[in-house]
Amino acid sequence: MEIVRSQTKASGPGVIPTIPLYRCAPALEVRLEDFEVFAIDRLRVLKGISDGLSRGKKSDEMEKLVTHFWKSNMKHPISSEVTNKDIISHFVLRLVYCRTEEFRKWFLSIETTLFRYRFQLQTSDVQRALMAEFELPYKAVGNVEYEGLKDKLTQVARSIGQSLPSGNAVFYKVPFEEVPELVATRKVYIQKGHAYVAMNQVVSLVVTQFRSHLSKALVLTNRKWTSMIREKESDRLTPIVEALATSYLGPDYSQPKEFAEISLKDIDQVAKSSFPLCMRHLFEKLREDHHLKHGGRMQLGLFLKGVGLPLDDALVFWKSEFSRKVGTERFDKEYAYGIRHNYGKEGKRVDYTPYSCQKIISSTPGVGDHHGCPYRHFSEENLRAALGKMGVSSRALEDVIDKARNKHYQLACTLTFEAVHNSSCDAGVNHPNQYFSDSQSILKGG
């Protein structure tokens, strides 16, 4: 796959299957803009699936969720390019997520889940074609053998609530160790070391092959990335690839949108009712210590800008706190510039954007720092205390702690939001300013 800046894109030779198997990188020329945009669109799908799995959604709910995210994000204005977008986006994210063991594990799990549900939504003819693409060494059970096993197969189908085998039913005879999930859940009949897999269960066979191939491919891709691609593309692709893993995919909160401004007289009450835990902690520490280190000032300052604190009020707010610790003169000399800079009034006059959850989670606060994500960076004891202070009930608190313990930090924040506001948040929390905006919408009757 070659990345170019030209406007042309050549189609790959041959017929591309309904669901690509991603065996090798396509012979396509890809515009640099598409390289990133396609990857972001697919990443929205994968993160939607990951959130659904973390929430414990059932199979039928996951099927609807996968269909929704795929149709919403993977469309293309040119219908003939939809499959190319699918292939390109997969290989770009393979580059992004091959780079660490944790990345590889996540990508392998979610891509396999995506493939499973896409396969299940295909017709039986397409499923057989995909099996042929995998060149699986399995043949359908012949009529004579099938008649001898029909009663046993019927018993298994009845026990798991599936439709009973009909006269034209297709079963595959495979070594039992190749369908561990079916064996573990007793969904297949086993005889002499072989499992008899119904056509509506072949997804387990295909998914096992898909996962095995992708797992090996990710390791090989990491070797190529480390030894050759990263340095060769240091000026062009490498910055994009390295940024994509922690990229924020939601709305821009550089300017307040729904709730125009917050006033200084209301800021304490608003902080208590609508700030997410990460910002509430920083706000309270600022009120308590009258000082925050650089990381904390940036994280809280840009958040306040995004929720509608005007520059003049921001200067008054920060000065009233810092001057109690460092004095008015030192504040004006050392700190006021940074506040004006965040608002685009100094230096390059860039309109800086508030930090997303991904950026906050990936930060590394040091001793004396208070920024970062409490669900990741707090001890369990401190997190429990902070959640209790927010009014999270004991039952909900245990769910939040469990998600944080299992590294589902944004889901933990989402559950906190739901507990505090007694309202669902199906989209999940992806940005502190989104948390604030959704909270204000609920509290103001929106």
Q: Which residues are annotated as a binding site?
A: 278, 357, 373, 413
Please state, in angstroms and rounded to a whole number, the distance separating the CA atoms of residues 97 and 244: 9
Check if the beta carbon of residue 77 is closer than 8 Å to that of residue 102.
no
| φ, ψ dihedrals at 440, nearest 5° | -65, -35
Please state, in angstroms and rounded to a whole number, the distance separating the CA atoms of residues 289 and 279: 15
Nearest to residue 120, comparing CAs of 213, 209, 202, 61? 202
Exposure letters 342-359 (e unless 16+ CB within 10 A, then b): bbeeeeeeeebbbbbbbb
Binding site membership for [4Fe-4S] cluster: which residues? 278, 357, 373, 413
Burial of 192 (0-12, 13-18, 19+ CB in 10 A): exposed
Please state, in angstroms and rounded to a whole number, the distance separating the CA atoms of residues 246 and 201: 36
Nearest to residue 393, comparing CAs of 371, 421, 427, 364? 421
CA 318 to each of CA 195, 299, 343, 402: distance values in angstroms, whole numbers, following the listed order: 69, 13, 14, 36
Q: Are strands 194-198 and 189-191 parallel, antiparallel or unpaired?
A: antiparallel
Check if the beta carbon of residue 251 is closer than 8 Å to that of residue 117.
no
Please state, in angstroms and rounded to a whole number, the distance separating the CA atoms of residues 63 and 119: 11
Check if the beta carbon of residue 220 is closer than 8 Å to that of residue 273.
no
Q: Are strands 29-31 and 171-175 parallel, antiparallel or unpaired?
A: unpaired
Q: Which amino acid type is present at position 74?
A: M
Q: Are strands 171-175 and 189-191 parallel, antiparallel or unpaired?
A: unpaired
Contacts of 208 (CB under 8 A, 6+ apart): 178, 179
